[in-house]
Amino acid sequence: MKTYSFIGSDKNAGKTTALTFFYQQLLQRRYAEQAVFLTSIGINGESVDTFEGKDKPPTRIFRNSLFITAGDHLRQLGGQYQILHVFDRPGFTKLYVLARATNDFVVVLEGPNDRDSVLKMKKVMSRVAANSICLIDGSIDRQFLGHPSISDALCFALLISSRPQQQQKAQGFLTALGLEKCSSKATEIIDASTNDSTKSVLILNWDSTVYKGYKIPYLDDQLRSHCLEHRDKPCILYIKGSLSRSLYRFLAPLQNLTIVLHDFTCYQNINTGNDPPEFKPELRDRTKITWHKLAAKVPKRPDILPTECQVFFEPTLRLRHTVPLEYLFIRQESDQTRIDVPGDVPAINLYRDDLDDFRI
């Protein structure tokens, strides 16, 4: 079973529209012989968009498709589906139903919000239809979607807006999705030095663990102290948590550091929030990102930050777990805004392109 997770750069980026288009392409074109599952992380199906106040496109399930949702949403659909499996307590927080549609109908999709529950569901789904495709209506803030045990590929709904904050968020997410996987040697070292409770590890000279952290990385003062102490030596810093703006600024001058994030979701918080207009990161070689006028915004500390107005992010950024970005779905609000997008990923403008030209 191949699983596509749909995420978006913003709440009104067109994620549900993208999923609906993708789903219809699967049914009509080359995958018509394969079973298709649909589900959601958490609840999906609000009737009105909270940002624009407009009606949202409903999720329509077509005959013979398989789906998972909470049992509460099926009360008005009696006789239109066949139950194949029930997920209930104690393994799940509420009752979820895996069913096959016997008619076309509109339904609210709702699935569990945690990684272990989704993995349990995927095992059952694979038994029901091994040669299948699963579409998950996801969310950028559900970190486990960035793990290959959950997602085989990502479909990203990108809002191109004239609003600066939305532009920063969108570019930040694309930066995160474009980061490369760490080397096999780094993977081996990290796996040997971590467990489920580990939030950070600092590895000196690629072979000696000098610090293991169990606190949230950006709140871990000991982690910062060790990074400064070994700043002149080649090090790997593994982070299983947010690479926050404050931690990002702190680590920016450390040239000998290779930062390995657990997955792309650890990077996202850098470009969210109320950053000043001068905050304009750009993806460059070695994942160098420019911070304009950074020294004017941060107290000057010679032991940490250079005093120039332009500061490069010197560490190399990599990911421990990667999931390929397979399709980019664009919702363009502004013709004047330009955002750098990956050149090797098919981009589909759902509101402007001739969709008959595309084949999924």
C-alpha–C-alpha distance, residues 301 and 240, integer Å: 27
Q: Which of 58, 39, 59, 48 is nearest to 11 (CA)?
A: 48
User: What CATH number should be reported for the domain holding residue 148?
Assistant: 3.40.50
Percent of the chain exceeding pLDDT 90 equals 49
In a domain, 97, yes or no: yes
Residues 209, 282 within the same domain: yes
Q: Do residue 84 and residue 232 come from a single domain?
A: no
Amino acid 300: pLDDT? 37
Q: What is the pLDDT of residue 44?
A: 59
Query: 95 or 165: which carries more pLDDT confidence?
Result: 95
To the nearest 5 percent, what fractions of the chain are helix, strand and coil? 25, 30, 45
Q: Does residue 123 lie within any of the structural domains?
A: yes
CB-based contact 37:100 (threshold 8 Å)? no
The DSSP code sequence of 196-210 is TT--EEEEETTTEEE
Query: Looking at the structure, do residues 129 and 194 belong to the same domain, yes or no?
Result: no
**pLDDT value for 345:** 87
Tens of pLDDT, residues 281-332: 343 444 433 333 222 233 333 344 443 344 578 899 999 999 999 999 988 8
Asked if residue 174 is part of any domain, the answer here is no
Q: Are residues 268 and 351 in the same domain?
A: no
3-state SS class at 134? strand
pLDDT of residue 286: 45
Would you say the C-alpha torsion 292, 294, 295, 301 has a positive or negative sign?
negative
According to the model, what pLDDT value does residue 280 have?
39
Asked whether residue 333 falls in the same domain as residue 284, the answer is no
What's the total number of domains in the chain?
Answer: 2
pLDDT digit string, tens, across residues 38-60: 999 987 545 444 444 455 556 89
Rounded CA-CA distance 306/310 in Å is 9
Q: Is residue 10 part of a domain?
A: yes
Its domain, for residue 331, covers: 2-163+323-357
Per-residue confidence (pLDDT) for residue 301, from 0 to 100: 37
> Based on the domain organization, do 224 and 312 belong to the same domain?
yes
Q: What is the DSSP string of 265-304?
A: GGGGGGG-S---TT------GGG--EEETHHHHS---TTT
Please indicate, yes or no, whether residues 247 and 315 belong to a single structural domain of this protein. Answer: yes
DSSP 45: -
The region of weakest confidence among 20-24, 29-33, 87-91, 135-139 is 29-33
Check whether residue 344 and residue 292 sit in a common domain.
no
Mean pLDDT of 19-24: 92
Q: Would you say residue 70 lies in a domain? A: yes
Both 308 and 221 in one domain: the answer is yes
Same domain, residue pair 188 and 147: no
Q: Over the range 106-141, which residues count as b (16 or more CB within 10 Å of their CB) and which as e?
A: ebbbbbbeebebbeebbeebeebbeebbbbbbbbbe
Is residue 176 domain-resident? no
| pTM across the whole model | 0.80
Q: Is residue 175 part of a domain?
A: no
CA dihedral over 191, 195, 197, 203, signed as positive or negative: negative
Looking at residue 341, its pLDDT comes to 75
Identify whether 173 is part of a domain. no
Tally of residues, the chain:
360
Residues 211 and 264 placed together within one structural domain of the fold: yes
Q: pLDDT-based confidence at 32, cuts 50/70/90? A: low
Q: What confidence tens digit (pLDDT) does each residue in 119-178 have?
A: 999 999 999 998 899 999 988 777 788 889 999 999 999 888 777 777 777 777 888 888
Biggest alpha carbon distance in the chain?
A: 71
- Residues 6 and 150 placed together within one structural domain of the fold: yes
CA distances (Å), 252 to each of 93, 248, 305, in order?
42, 6, 8
